[in-house]
Structure 1
Amino acid sequence: MTNSLALPVSLDEAELVRRLQARDEQALGYVQREYGRQLLTVIVRLVRDEDLAQDILQEGLLKIWQGIASYQPEGGRFFSWMVRVCCNHAIDALRNPRHRFNHRNQPLESCASHRVEAVSTFNPEHIGLRELTLALKPRQREVIDLLYFGGCTQAEAAEQLGIPVATVKTRARAALVALTALARSTHYTR
């Protein structure tokens, strides 16, 4: 159902959420216009592929549209909730076996350029870290994903997750303790 009233140039979060919940398609266009670039930037940090990020953004906007009823203002800012929806979708896309297959089967030219970049950023301490993080609690894993794999600062992670910086630090510390114990138990360290 489309609202017949045109949207103002600027909407506050509460009004935007209300219009989205009322299934106002113009409000979804407003979200894409006003927040799309920022959401895309976050997604690109996670997936490191502009084309894939564009696809994930479109699917993420659809998830926002379909899941708007689950947004709770007391849980954090609307933008933070949208970031969380898009990040979760990006992580799901990266874990999808189809993505892994397509990523492994790229044309030779694109593999050569990625290989040079990968060699220049190789860090032996990260070998197997991604697999180890799968054993973490979900809240710890999302912080580690943003901080270590997403390249976010603690403040950026806090903003994206809609939680205080102190909570990000606490979760990151707990995750690092858990990863250290896990690495020792699985012989990842000497």
Structure 2
Amino acid sequence: MERLRARDASVVSVLYDMYSPALYGVVLQIVKIEETAEDVLQEAFVKIWNSFESYDASKGRLFTWMLNICRNQAIDAIRSRQHRVNTKTEDIEGPQVSGFSAAEFKPEYIGVRDIVDNLNPEQKQVIDLMYFEGLSQSEIAEAYDIPLGTVKTRARSAVKVLARFFKGRA
């Protein structure tokens, strides 16, 4: 700790050797892709080094502080555009909205985002994250600390509301 406070750069490799396996495991559980987990861990250690002065031993252990930094970096990574491009969204289980094939496309469907704004806040959050941000239901549950079943229920109820709206406009 004293060497970290004194900004002794050689202590970073000791810190890395001691904690990286456990931290990497946590990051990998969140991001699911080894290459991304390695990048996130590296970025997290840079952040740990650059922000060590903000660590307060009276508030918790060093490992816990580092774990929170790694977890936050991993969540930021899965929210990033590049990660969304590299992963696929899970299908919604339950009722599906019909009428969205290319042959049946209607120009009025372009305003879907405006329609989604009319959902209740919990439904809107899930639909925004799934369809406009590209996160899977599992990723939403992890990132927002919501039970997976709750995420699925919100998604299903939102799809039902949207299906009724689109049937009324067809």
TM-score range, shorter chain: 0.5 to 0.7
- 2:152 equivalent to 1:187: no
Structure 1 residues 77 and 54 mapped into 2: Cα distance closer, same or farther (>3 Å)? same
The answer to whether the 8 A contact 2:127-2:158 is kept is no
- Structure 1: which 5+ runs fail to align? 1-16, 105-114, 136-143, 151-171
The answer to whether the 8 A contact 2:30-2:75 is kept is yes
- 2:13 equivalent to 1:19: no
Tell me the equivalent position of 2:105.
Answer: none
Tell me the equivalent position of 1:112.
Answer: none
Q: CA deviation at 1:123?
A: 8.3
Tell me the equivalent position of 1:149.
Answer: 142
What TM-score, normalized by structure 1, do the two folds share?
0.50
- 2:108 equivalent to 1:124: no
**Matched AA of 1:149:** E
- Structure 2: which 5+ runs fail to align? 95-121, 130-137, 161-170
- 2:26 equivalent to 1:34: no
Tell me the equivalent position of 2:72.
Answer: 88
* Aligned residues with identical type, % of pairs: 29
Q: How many residues align?
A: 120
Runs of 4+ more than 6 Å apart = none
- 2:28 equivalent to 1:44: yes
Mapped partners of 1:26, 1:133: distance in 2: 47
Q: CA deviation at 1:133?
A: 10
Mapped partners of 1:73, 1:20: distance in 2: 13
What TM-score, normalized by structure 2, do the two folds share?
0.56
**Matched AA of 2:35:** D
- The structure number with the bigger radius of gyration is 2
Tell me the equivalent position of 2:110.
Answer: none
RMSD: 3.9
Q: SS of 1:24's equivalent? A: coil
Q: CA deviation at 1:50?
A: 1.0
